[in-house]
Chains A and B, each alone.
Chain A
Amino acid sequence: MDWLPALWFILIAVLWCGYLFLEGFDLGVGMLIGLGRNTEKRKRVLLNTIGPVWDGNEVWLLTAGGATFAAFPHWYASLFSALYIPLTLVLVALIFRAVSIEYRGKAKTARSLKLWDAALGYGSLVAAFGVGAMLALTTLGLPLNENGDRVGGPFAWLTWYAVLGGVAVVAFCWIHALAFVRLKTDGPVRERAGTLFTRWLPLAVLPLVAWVLIVLLENDSAVGWALLAAAALALVVSIATARAGREGVSFIALGLMLATGVAAIFTAVFPVVLPSTLDPAFNLTIYNASSSPYTLKLMSIVAAFGVPLVLAYQSWSYWVFRKRVKEEHIPEAHHPEPIVK
């Protein structure tokens, strides 16, 4: 059963990939609404592109976290406790993001609408940054002692790598959201997203590429380099098709770029799940951080049943809501009149 930890390593990489792909555009759309300048109607067009699906997408994060807990308790415990302060901020950001999606339409005054927009925008931004920083650090290392506990105080995690990972995911979410919005809306919103996407795509993925490169330079891996080449190819395809106005293809190609990029990172660091910058002997690997073969086997059976099912009904939900959202689709904002005081 030696291959079980490796299988779970792959599965967790897949879960993070799914999270970044699906929630990536949710977080990006949140930033576009909250931090960009748009008319109220256009903001609502943006919001309704993710309206029916964002909550299901967020569960990928919970599943990635839960699967890490179940399959690699030491990875989960060391990473999450080391990043105590930033994860607190991510949690607050995710809370504000979720609540403002549901509640912003219920705001009665311009002032409260502005507050909800700020909560949505900054919530999405901070969540994306924090998740990016966390993923960068789990691939590039934290100062951990022999027990896997963080050494060096509450801000020991704050390195250039963390900033790079944070910026990479923020930029990716933003550009990915533009590709998504271009595909899911019509009218001026679609045009504007198309222009921005085509113009900024090459620049926006640079930090992501830099992160992959640093990981590959630190952990030489032939397969990793090959995957990076594939990512570069996907990027070129995405750029070319974006210019040609092939919205669907460029969106998918960008997604493939993400998938191959994440695969390159995880391939390169394998079998280390969380390196210690103090001593390689303290590294957490798929062998010393994993659960027992019994638990991994149980979880494998559950995943073999559960993951395809999730993919099936989530795809169906995207199919149900496949139509582009237009400004004329958006009903007038409705505010309940108190019929009783």
Chain B
Amino acid sequence: MDALEIARWQFGITTVYHFLMVPLTLGLGMTVAVLQTVWYRTGNEQWLRMTKFWGKLFLINFIMGVATGIVQEFQFGMAWSEYSRYVGDVFGAPLAMEALLAFFVESTFLGLWIFGWKKLPKLVHLATIWCAALASLLSAYFILVANSWMQHPVGAEIIDGKAVMTDAWAVFTNNTALITFPHTLFGAFAVAGGFLLGISWFHLYRRRKEGIDSVDAQGRVVVGEDLSKGKNRDKTDYQVWIKSLRIGAVVAMVSFLGVALTGHEQAKLMFEQQPMKMASAEAACHDGTGFSVLTLGDITTPGSTSCDDIVATFELPGLLSFLANGDFTTEVKGVNTLIPEYQEKYGKYYPEDPNFGPYAGQEINYLPVMEVTYWGFRLMITLGGLSAVTAALALWLTRKGTVPQSKWLSRLALLSIAAPFGANSAGWIFTEMGRQPFTVAPNPQMGGIDQVFMYTAASVSPTVSAGEMLFSLITLTLVYGVLLVVELVLLTRYIRGGIGAAMPELNETPDTKNPDGSGHDKNDDGDVLAFAY
């Protein structure tokens, strides 16, 4: 493997990994803010318990997102210096804004939230989690503006061989960004919904298995309590889990609807903006209207580009046109039509330029790796749909107040956690791999070779050796692997610990000054910190 391939693997691995933490941070942050708001308004303890429990899991996950996020910002300069030089004038701006306008708010106000229980007035404390959660959404917007510009460059032109921003408004209201943003957010909320659903299911299931809760003749829940474990298994505990489960299920279903609707709009744009990506997502070699549900043939051989061998075995007529245009008859261009178009517009061979390294003068392969785009696209949709079905099923199964005592169904709960993560990863792998061979895909509305676009082959740092790249790839992958285990162990421990794990104060003698563990404590000099590392 040469430096370019290693750099790509590294970017892929670190980004997919980072984006395991990100959607959970986005979705769970908003969830915790809403839960705390309900507690603030009702004063009902169950909402406080939910805030604390989900907040604890949120924090365990948040720090991993922070730690792996720094790698993302640095590796543009480290491994992709030519890319950074070419696009910095446009691409650097949203990154800098993300740090200045979003990350600062997020991290400062989260620090205030974690350590501010008891210290800040209740309303101010509530405001801190809202600031942090909304800032995380803002950061998502900025980074998606940057990414969307790579998918669909607007508001820039080439001056002295570099992309230069000419219209900031166009960059920040890029239609690609405006549709990717809600699509990503709904994807993140689906992750949070599945997370709430799966973990709450587990606790309700255990309560039944231990004989705390039972069902009457009509199948309705009879809530019990087991006070031998402190308040961990009281009646409020039941409320925490059933409410979390049902909220999670509704969030997951609504999010799926949102993901599907925005995804459809996004696909229509992508047919216009990156026709090759969508053609390869379809393994559509020839022009047509049918959506392939299952395609067999040469796309199963690694890196296949020999499109003509593909035998589409099962197609839904008209669906491809619906995805692309919203009707059932428009012909969508296939790979075999698009390749000559790309060659005519952007050239058949890479330029003889030292920045292309070993790729200079080689023939350009305009077709993304079809097995990745084809299956990535389908995996995203399947897993997304699966999580929605699971959520609907969970809502129906718990309509009488608790979960059934079935081991098999409790495994389904695990699936509801995993599926949305998988859908998010698959979607990103599809859209990023589908953009190849470009880092900045050309905007077809803007013309040809003289417009803003960049080949991946020319983006990598010219004098960083393959050995260096391999060193960082191995180091980061190992570190990430170890930390994933650590995070999962900790999450599991706090999940198994139930509410008491996130609320040590729950099973202690109540503080007479502050029975609800909150409120403004003016005379706290002798007091123990409400939270301490």
Could you tell me which A residues sit within 8 Å of B by CB distance? Answer: 44, 47-48, 51-56, 58-59, 61-63, 65-67, 69-74, 76-81, 83-85, 87-88, 91-92, 94-96, 98-99, 101-106, 145, 147-151, 153-154, 291-292, 294-295, 298-299, 302-303, 306-307, 310, 313-314, 317, 320-321, 323, 325, 328-331, 334, 336-341
Which residues from B are CB-within-8-Å of A80? Answer: 74, 76-78, 81, 84
Asked if B82 is at the interface (CB within 8 A of a chain A CB), the reply is yes
Q: Is the CB of B77 within 8 A of A77?
A: yes
Which residues from B are CB-within-8-Å of A78? Answer: 81
- Docked Cα-Cα span, A9 to B461, in Å, equals 24
Q: Is the CB of B528 within 8 A of A69?
A: no
Q: Is the CB of A65 within 8 A of B73?
A: yes
Q: Is the CB of A340 within 8 A of B472?
A: no
Nearest B residue to A64 via CB reads: B99
Nearest B residue to A80 via CB reads: B77
Tell whether A67 pairs with B461 under 8 Å between CB atoms, given A95-B483, A317-B111, A321-B115.
Answer: no
* Closest 3 pairs between A and B when the two form their complex, measured CB to CB: A73-B88, A80-B77, A336-B497
Q: Which of A88, A149, A298 contacts B168 (CB under 8 A)?
A: A298
- Docked Cα-Cα span, A104 to B63, in Å, equals 12
Chain B proximity of A287: nearest CB distance (Å) = 13
Q: Which of A83, A148, A310 contacts B100 (CB under 8 A)?
A: A310
Q: Is the CB of B71 within 8 A of A329?
A: no
Chain A proximity of B198: nearest CB distance (Å) = 14
Query: Which of B97, B111, B165, B206 has the most chain A CB atoms closer than 10 A to its own CB?
Result: B111
Asked if B105 is at the interface (CB within 8 A of a chain A CB), the reply is yes
Asked if B300 is at the interface (CB within 8 A of a chain A CB), the reply is no
- Docked Cα-Cα span, A310 to B105, in Å, equals 8
Q: Is the CB of A66 within 8 A of B98?
A: yes
Q: Is the CB of A295 within 8 A of B165?
A: yes
Asked if B89 is at the interface (CB within 8 A of a chain A CB), the reply is yes
Query: Which of A151, A294, A325, A337 has the most chain B CB atoms closer than 10 A to its own CB?
Result: A337
Q: List 8 A-B contacts (CB under 8 A).
A: A55-B111, A63-B99, A69-B91, A70-B93, A99-B67, A294-B166, A313-B104, A339-B232
Chain B proximity of A333: nearest CB distance (Å) = 9
B 461-502 to A, binary, CB cutoff 8 A, 1 in contact else 0: 111110111011001100100010010001001101110111
Q: Is the CB of A307 within 8 A of B60?
A: no
Asked if B66 is at the interface (CB within 8 A of a chain A CB), the reply is yes
Q: Which of B71, B78, B203, B469 contacts A340 (CB under 8 A)?
A: B203
Could you tell me which B residues sit within 8 Å of A by CB distance? Answer: 59-60, 63-64, 66-71, 73-74, 76-79, 81-82, 84-85, 87-93, 95-101, 103-105, 107-112, 114-116, 119-120, 159, 164-166, 168, 202-203, 206, 229, 232-233, 461-465, 467-469, 471-472, 475-476, 479, 483, 486, 490, 493-494, 496-498, 500-502, 504, 524-529, 532-533
Q: Is the CB of B533 within 8 A of A307?
A: no
Tell whether A314 pairs with B104 under 8 Å between CB atoms, given A76-B77, A154-B465, A339-B232.
Answer: yes
Q: Is the CB of B115 within 8 A of A336?
A: no
- Docked Cα-Cα span, A80 to B71, in Å, equals 12
- Docked Cα-Cα span, A295 to B88, in Å, equals 10
- Docked Cα-Cα span, A263 to B99, in Å, equals 23
Which residues from A are CB-within-8-Å of B229? Answer: 339
- Docked Cα-Cα span, A96 to B71, in Å, equals 12
Q: Is the CB of B84 within 8 A of A77?
A: yes
- Docked Cα-Cα span, A338 to B491, in Å, equals 12
Q: Is the CB of B532 within 8 A of A48?
A: yes
Tell whether A320 pairs with B165 under 8 Å between CB atoms, given A62-B99, A91-B71, A299-B93.
Answer: no
- Docked Cα-Cα span, A105 to B476, in Å, equals 24
Q: Is the CB of B96 within 8 A of A69?
A: yes
Chain A proximity of B229: nearest CB distance (Å) = 5
Which residues from B are CB-within-8-Å of A101? Answer: 63, 533
Q: Is the CB of B493 within 8 A of A298?
A: no
Q: Is the CB of B73 within 8 A of A320?
A: no
Q: Is the CB of B468 within 8 A of A95?
A: no
Q: Which of B468, B501, B533 contacts A336 (CB under 8 A)?
A: B501
Which residues from A are CB-within-8-Å of B95? Answer: 66, 69-70
- Docked Cα-Cα span, A22 to B91, in Å, equals 28
Tell whether A81 pairs with B96 under 8 Å between CB atoms, given A59-B104, A291-B88.
Answer: no
Tell whether A310 pairs with B81 under 8 Å between CB atoms, given A73-B88, A85-B468, A336-B497.
Answer: no
Q: Is the CB of B93 within 8 A of A95?
A: no
Nearest A residue to B167 via CB reads: A294
Q: Is the CB of B78 within 8 A of A87?
A: yes
Tell whether A336 pairs with B500 under 8 Å between CB atoms, given A63-B99, A84-B468, A106-B490.
Answer: yes
Q: Is the CB of B476 within 8 A of A88?
A: yes
Which residues from A are CB-within-8-Å of B59? Answer: 102
Query: Which of A79, A96, A99, A294 has the most chain B CB atoms closer than 10 A to its own CB?
Result: A99
Q: Is the CB of A98 within 8 A of B120?
A: no
- Docked Cα-Cα span, A339 to B240, in Å, equals 15
Q: Is the CB of A58 within 8 A of B107?
A: yes
Q: Is the CB of B92 within 8 A of A339?
A: no
- Docked Cα-Cα span, A95 to B70, in Å, equals 8
- Docked Cα-Cα span, A156 to B81, in Å, equals 17
Chain B proximity of A67: nearest CB distance (Å) = 5
- Docked Cα-Cα span, A48 to B68, in Å, equals 23
Q: Is the CB of A103 within 8 A of B63?
A: yes
Chain A proximity of B237: nearest CB distance (Å) = 9
Q: Is the CB of B496 within 8 A of A62?
A: no
Q: Is the CB of B67 within 8 A of A67?
A: no
Nearest B residue to A152 via CB reads: B463
Q: Which of A47, A55, A292, A306 contacts B159 (CB under 8 A)?
A: A292
Query: Which of A96, A292, A323 has the most chain B CB atoms closer than 10 A to its own CB?
Result: A292
Q: Is the CB of A292 within 8 A of B165?
A: yes
Which residues from B are CB-within-8-Å of A102? Answer: 59-60, 63, 533
Q: Is the CB of B67 within 8 A of A66?
A: no
- Docked Cα-Cα span, A77 to B462, in Å, equals 11
Q: Which of B92, B105, B112, B528 contacts A329 (CB under 8 A)?
A: B528
Chain B proximity of A277: nearest CB distance (Å) = 15
Which residues from A are CB-within-8-Å of B70? Answer: 58, 61-62, 91, 94-95
Q: Is the CB of B120 within 8 A of A302?
A: no
Nearest A residue to B496 via CB reads: A338
Which residues from B are CB-within-8-Å of A310? Answer: 100, 104, 108
- Docked Cα-Cα span, A72 to B159, in Å, equals 16
Tell whether A70 pairs with B92 under 8 Å between CB atoms, given A44-B533, A95-B68, A331-B529.
Answer: yes
Tell whether A299 pairs with B96 under 8 Å between CB atoms, given A336-B497, A338-B496.
Answer: yes
Which residues from B are CB-within-8-Å of A51? Answer: 111, 114-115, 532-533
Tell whether A77 pairs with B99 under 8 Å between CB atoms, given A56-B111, A101-B533, A339-B498.
Answer: no
Q: Is the CB of B67 within 8 A of A94?
A: yes
Q: Which of A77, A294, A328, A339 contacts B85 (CB under 8 A)?
A: A77
Which residues from B are CB-within-8-Å of A88? Answer: 78, 471-472, 475-476
Q: Is the CB of A98 within 8 A of B108?
A: no
Which residues from B are CB-within-8-Å of A69? Answer: 73, 76-77, 84, 88, 91-92, 95-96
Q: Is the CB of A59 within 8 A of B165?
A: no
- Docked Cα-Cα span, A317 to B108, in Å, equals 7
Chain B proximity of A228: nearest CB distance (Å) = 30
- Docked Cα-Cα span, A63 to B111, in Å, equals 18
Query: Which of B59, B74, B109, B115 has the most chain A CB atoms closer than 10 A to its own CB?
Result: B74
Chain B proximity of A124: nearest CB distance (Å) = 14
Chain A proximity of B465: nearest CB distance (Å) = 6
Q: Is the CB of A55 within 8 A of B110?
A: yes
- Docked Cα-Cα span, A317 to B128, in Å, equals 11
Q: Is the CB of A71 within 8 A of B92?
A: yes
Tell whether A73 pairs with B96 under 8 Å between CB atoms, given A56-B111, A94-B70, A103-B486.
Answer: no
Nearest A residue to B202 via CB reads: A340
Chain B proximity of A51: nearest CB distance (Å) = 5
- Docked Cα-Cα span, A145 to B463, in Å, equals 10
